[in-house]
Amino acid sequence: MDPGLSWRIVSDGARCGAANMARDHALAQALRPGTGIVRFYRWSPATLSLGRNEPLTAPYLDFLRLNPGIGVVRRPTGGRAVIHDRELTYAAVLPARACGGPREAYRKVTRGLVEGLRHLGVEAKAAAGRALPPDAGPCFIEAAEGEVVVGGRKLVGSAQMRIGAAVLQHGSVLRVADQSPLLAGPGGDGLAASGNGGRGRHRDPPANAVTLTELLEEAPSWEQLVDAFSLGFARALGGDWTRGTLTDEEQTLARELKDKYGSPTWTWRRTGQQSVDEPA
């Protein structure tokens, strides 16, 4: 990594899906040469996010109908469906050429995630895996190449996109979040069936997903997670690191982009069954 790259860490609040995706996109679009940004954030309400080219098929539509308290958004990046609820989400934004290209950037960011988990006492590694198509089902069914696993079970799902001269990579670190309702099908108990963002009854997570709550005696606090992953990314990516906030330019861009990510035209453009209407 270029030793002169200056990194800014942004510890953000909880926002809806459209606002979160707009902020990530804005950070990439406004990135200045010689700089990088890592943003940590949360979601409110709990939200189903879809990959850029993932079909919005009947099982996902059933899930949304069964769980009216859940938001839905389509990401700018690829990958597959994730329920975002009581997790840590990270976004790493860096110049596309800073690591020798997007693929090497993906490896370095993954290394930062693994280093951060080691600070928390979790022995994780990058999965061998394989590339998975957009219609392969929910994200946490299977680890794709380079995603983070513990004992063969997936803990972090990530996706990447080049935006102009920048690379945006973001992903979910499962703290408590249960992904199993995506697999429940019609009649299943949804994550937010009671409208409380999934804080009521929970199923057991899928056998191939794992949460930090399962791995550690006590779930780390938000501050502990941000500190650990900040250290991990600094070790993996090098450069100078400071804490900061979004600039005025980034906030303005994010407000403009929020309309796109909140638009039904964007969200529903890949509906797999033309005969199925959007949820009310």
For the annotated catalytic residues, the residue numbers are 139
Q: How many other CB atoms are found less than 10 A from the CB of residue 13?
A: 8
- The position carrying tokens 């392969």 is 136
SS (H, E, C) the chain: CCCCCEEEEEEEEEECHHHHHHHHHHHHHCCCCCEEEEEEEEECCCEEEECCCCCECHHHHHHHHHCCCCEEEECCCCCCCEEECCCEEEEEEEECCCCCCHHHHHHHHHHHHHHHHHHCCCCCEECCCCCCCCCCCCHHHCCCCCCEEECCEEEEEEEEEEECCEEEEEEEECCCCCCHHHHCCCCCCCCCCCCCCCCCCCCCCCCCECCHHHHCCCCCCHHHHHHHHHHHHHHHHCCEEEECCCCHHHHHHHHHHHHHHCCHHHHCCCECCCCCCCCC
- Partners of 242 in beta bridges: 8
